[in-house]
Structure formats: C-alpha cells, structure tokens
Amino acid sequence: MDFIEYWIKTKQLIDDVIQKYLSQIKDLDMLEVSKYILKDGKRYRAVLNMFFTEALGGELSNSLDAALAIEILHSSSLALDDIVDYDTTRRGKLSAWALYTNRRVVFITNYLIPSALNIISRYGENALKVSLELWKDTAVGAIKDMFGPATSYLSTIELKTSSLFKLSTALAAFTADREKDLDLLLDMGKYLGIMYQLIDDYIDCINFESGKTKELVGSAKQLYELYGKKYGEFVKSEYNNASAQYISLLSKLDVREKFNEIAISIPDTLSMGLLTEAGIKKL
C-alpha cells in the first residue's frame, strides 16, 4: 500500500463522519452554509492524522473525531481566506462568501471553529491547549501572508500552512496514546507544511510568469519579490532541506513497520499531487 491507496481507503470514512456531524445541526440556515463550507476537499490533513494514528499503533476509530475537527478548522480557514483575498471561486465552484455573503460565512465559521475545538477537547486538556496555540499561529500567519514583508517568507508559510499540518500530526500523539512523541510529531508536521506551501507557491509563480494569473498575492508574492526569476532554485533547495529534516525526524519515531515506507513517501506524494493537478511534471 502507498499513501494514495491509504488516502482512498480513509477519505470516505472522513466524509461519512462529516455528514454525521452535519446531521446534528438543526438550524436550516446554519446547516446549508456549513454543508457548503465542508463539502468536497481532498481531506489530506485529516488523512495524515488517521495515518499517523495507525502508524504509531493506535486504533483508526480513535482518530475519527480528531480528523473531523481538523477538517472543520481547515475548511473554515479557507472560507475566511477567500473573504480576505476576494476569491470568488474555491475548488471550481463559487466560494462560500460569494454565494452566501461574507457576513453569513463569518458568522457560520464563528460557530464551526469552537465546535471543532470542543471536539478536540475530548482528547484531553493538553490536546486542546496544543490545538489552540496552533490555531493562534494560523491567525498570525494569515496576517503575515497579507501584510508581512517578503523577507518573512519562510516564517509566513510555517505559520499560515504548517500550523494545520502540525495539528494533524500532533493530534496523533493523543489519538494513539503516544504523547511522549508530541514534539517529534509537531516538527514533522512543520516540515510537511513547509514543503506543501513551497510547491503551492512555486506553482503560483509559474502561472504568473506564463500569464495564467494576473498577479501574485500572499506568500507567493513574497517568494517572487524575494528571489525573482531564481524562485525555482530557492524552492528546490528549501524543499530538499525540509524533506531531509522530515526523514530525520521520522527515523527517530517508533513506527509500525508496514507504515514506515509509506511515511517516507508522504512529502513527495503530496507535492506531486499539487504539481500534477497544475499540469507541471516535476519540481
């Protein structure tokens, strides 16, 4: 089994848990917008939590609540990002605010986010504390993404993107009863998030140079301002560095044997998914 096969196997479980969660929302207006915010999506971050739960010897069933909370937080952050960036499309469809207005989406996410954190509290006080700190980091990252200088590029992507990847891996420490490995898992999520955002920004820069997009925004803009035409060299260098750090951390983690090779392949699998979707053959 590779990570794609694992993703296919577990994604439906996450979708089912999300549907069950939505079925408990009784207010029809709240339900309609919540369903729209939470629909579709690759569920990579939730799958990562499920994967590392099993890799660390935990039961898959014990990760379902964590996976649900991660997806609620991630989808809510995207809905808010679209408002800030004036993006009218998301996943090939109208973004939530473009369909339901920004006020309704802000109000609904104000409901969804604490709901997700409440779900995480089922794993204990420390799990909630870690999650709150990481959610605060995403807020700081969003500010840096919008207003930060180009020189803060690496700090920006670590905060805005790695924070939720760190949440995915860190919660496995609680779902698998391996809290002693929390710091290792946090750092692994950090480097997974950095690699993911490096590739995402690399794609944006290519699309900008080819004329597919008219302007760069956020961290992609910072990257291009900082390195200009040499952005590709920088991305490759930082990607390789982050990959080496991730593999080094993984080697220190006691992982079930059948999951080790899959864990090693995760960075390149996620990155190739982004590149292939953009029609780019390789980094």
214-226 burial, b at 16+ Cβ within 10 Å, e below that, comes to eebbbbbbbbbeb
Average pLDDT, the chain: 95
DSSP per-residue codes, 127-143: HHHHHHHHHHHHHHHHH
DSSP SS3 for 177: coil
54 within 8 A of 26, measured Cβ to Cβ: no
pLDDT at 44: 94
266 within 8 A of 259, measured Cβ to Cβ: no
DSSP SS3 for 89: strand
Convert the pLDDT of each residue in 248-269 to its tens digit.
Answer: 999 999 999 999 999 999 999 9
- CB-based contacts of 7, cutoff 8 Å, min separation 6: 42, 43, 44, 47
Convert the pLDDT of each residue in 60-114 to its tens digit.
Answer: 999 999 999 999 999 999 999 999 888 888 878 899 999 999 999 999 999 999 9
Distance CA 124, CA 119 (A): 10
Q: Which CATH number fits domain 3-277: 1.10.10.10, 1.10.3720.10, 3.90.1150.10, 1.10.600.10?
A: 1.10.600.10
- Residue written as token pair 């929390």: 182
- Residue written as token pair 């998301």: 90
Per-residue pLDDT band at 45 (split at 50, 70, 90): very high
From the CB of residue 233, how many other CB atoms can be counted at a distance below 10 Å? 10
pLDDT at 258: 93
- Among 16-30, 45-59, 128-142, the minimum mean pLDDT is found in 16-30
Q: CA angle 190-133-107, nearest 5°?
A: 110
HSE toward the beta carbon, residue 139, CA cutoff 13 A: 7
DSSP per-residue codes, 46-59: HHHHHHHHHHTT--
Nearest to 164 by CA among 48, 27, 65, 20: 48
Q: Mean pLDDT, to the nearest integer, of 6-29?
A: 93
